[in-house]
Amino acid sequence: MIPDRQAAAVRKIDITPLRHLLQLGTKRDATALVSSLLNDLQITKSGFEQAWKGPDFAALRANSHVLIALAGTIGDTDLHGVAQHLNGLAHGQSTAEVTDMKSTTMASLDDLISVLLHLHGTGGT
Amino acid sequence: MSTGPRSIETPRPNVLLIEDLPSLQLVYKSVLMAAGHGVRVASTAADGMAQFIETAPDVVLLDLVLPDRDGLEVMQDMLALRPETAIIVITANGSINKAVEAMRAGAHEFLVKPFDEQRFLGAVTNAAGDHSLRRMGNPPIVAIAKSPPPPVASTTGAFIGSSDPMNRIHAKIRSVAQSMATVFITGESGTGKELCALAVHDKSSRAAGPFIALNCGAIPQDLLESEVFGHMKGSFTGAISDKPGAAAAADGGTLFLDEICEMAPALQTKLLRFLQTSTVQPVGATRPRKVNVRIVCATNVDPLDAVRRGQFREDLYYRLYVVPIHMPPLRERGDDVIEIAEAALARFAEEEGRHFDGIAHDVRALFRRLPWPGNVRQLLNVIRNVVVLNEGGIVTRQMLPGDLAKGDVMPAGPGTLNHASAEPGLDGLIGKTMAEIEQTVIEATLARHGGSVPKAARVLDISPSTLYRKIEGWAKG
């Protein structure tokens, strides 16, 4: 379980949907799923870091698509919304607007990764 | 993984999951296995295709964006090899157009990321049920008979005809019928949209199931929710018994929603939810019920225009407007008008106990020339009028309803309207009942627009079919 203070330390993220998924299988399955989510989120973060250098709008679109799927599945509605907004801006190809979204997106992504890291440390349950 | 409770009546198909993101693979797999499905997993199009050939799965869950190949192409290859496979495509939010393209190419259903467990499992269960039907060859699904055949006026004609436009319609119906894809039929009033929907149903694997037709424009808006989703006894004043609703009655078959653009916004939201979850919750019921229904809908207005004007939800439009079929107006169907007229003449003559020897050449020429604003329905009304008011022989110009015989003004119904009547002044209306005033104003509007029901309906801001019903009501009354 994530202590309340842990979630509050970053941003309040209600991961009830993820907890439900983790309970579908064994503890080992749950740990594997959290590891996999962490890995996919880290790859996405790296992808964003590269994409913002251009900015590479196609890469921003691709990574925001992945983030929409992952954040939505986990239940992080705030990050899901941020990713959707970023995806729309990337389609619009406005350098100023996507650059404005960088800090919010990365901070929100880091928050989610922190929560999952803590979850992973407690055995994914 | 643990396995959840299994339901004996629900088929458990073998599912092939093709998704490149590892964590989503795990999520989908764990949910499917918990629901009792056998799952194979592939991360690439190449691996997915190889497993498809090796395992012949019942259902394929296919991400449309794969690292080595476009998912749409993979789907088309799979359907070419095993057309009975139910393929559910998964697409990212914002790529609805791609999903719609996939549905047009034969996908069974589409899901939009992020993952929603209820919708996900609902789609797989529906796909499994439909796959079983295709394999077993139309077994009876539910003990509900098809709805009674529509009135004669619409059972004769729309699908008679060998014109190029109609041949294209027949080909499209054949290709779409076996899919679960939603069919959106457009066309002017009277072109046979309901017959087209029935043809889609009859050629599908659900032909043994019910075909339930509901005219969204003919039912008062406050009753429409109850008509579509049903109600429980006592849920509102007048609900004296449980009523299943059209969506539940169509379980295992097809639900035809005519004049869909006239549905109230609140009910559009509920319809969207129904399409996403495949569950219905009657008014007053405490829990939803899962149903397996194919939706076919129709409208005589431009649905995209209704979206632009804010009268129709855009997300619902994209959900429904998957395979469009446009029914051509009769004036664009060449000699179909003669074929339909002859078929109707034979049928109505038999019903009325009369004997007719065919249609005179000059009447045929007139029929080819007329614009038929009321389309097939109008033609059938004309022929019915001829059969009822004449003893038999060859149909001549003199037998036709007054204005039609002159060839200059189109009748809107079976010769009941006096289009030449003077338009009503206010003094002429005072002293009449509301019903009489309505009829007078409608007749005057029709006269001003040369008898064109669609034009008059537009001016009066009502649907042409509503106008036709009123006209037919006056003719009977």
Buried b / exposed e along B142-164 (16+ C-beta atoms within 10 A): eebebbeeeeebbbbbbbbbebe
A87 interaction partners in chain B (CB closer than 8 Å): 93-94
B202 and B147 Cβ atoms separated by less than 8 Å: no
According to DSSP, the β-strands at B14-18 and B59-63 are parallel
Nearest-CA distance A33 → chain B (Å) = 6
Look at residue B96 in the predicted model and tell me its pLDDT.
65
Q: How far apart are CA B379 and CA B158, in angstroms?
A: 10
Q: CA neighbours within 13 Å on the CB side: how many for B251?
A: 16
B53-101 per-position pLDDT tens digit: 888 898 999 998 888 888 888 998 888 888 778 889 888 755 666 777 7
The residue of chain B with its CA nearest to that of A65 is B92
Look at residue A37 in the predicted model and tell me its pLDDT.
95
Facing A68 at nearest CB: one of B1, B31, B113? B113
Q: How far apart are CA A2 and CA B217, in angstroms?
A: 53
What's the Cα-to-Cα distance from A60 to each of B80, B92, B184, rounded to whole Å? Answer: 35, 14, 35
- Encoded tokens for B469: 């019903």
| Residue ranges of chain B with per-residue pLDDT less than 70 | 1-13, 93-97, 104, 129-158, 218, 220-222, 235-240, 403, 405-428, 449-451, 454, 464-465, 472, 475-477
A68 interaction partners in chain B (CB closer than 8 Å): 92-94, 113-114
Give the pLDDT means over successive 10-residue stretches in chain A (125 positions): 43 86 87 94 95 92 92 91 90 88 94 91 63
Look at residue B416 in the predicted model and tell me its pLDDT.
32
Reported as type and span, the H/E element at residue B409 is none
Contacts of B332 (CB under 8 A, 6+ apart): B165
B94 interaction partners in chain A (CB closer than 8 Å): 65, 68, 84, 87-88, 91
Q: What is the number of other CB atoms lying within 10 angstroms of the CB of residue B209?
A: 26
The residue of chain A with its CA nearest to that of B26 is A33
Facing B24 at nearest CB: one of A20, A25, A73? A73
Look at residue B6 in the predicted model and tell me its pLDDT.
34
B16 and B60 Cβ atoms separated by less than 8 Å: yes
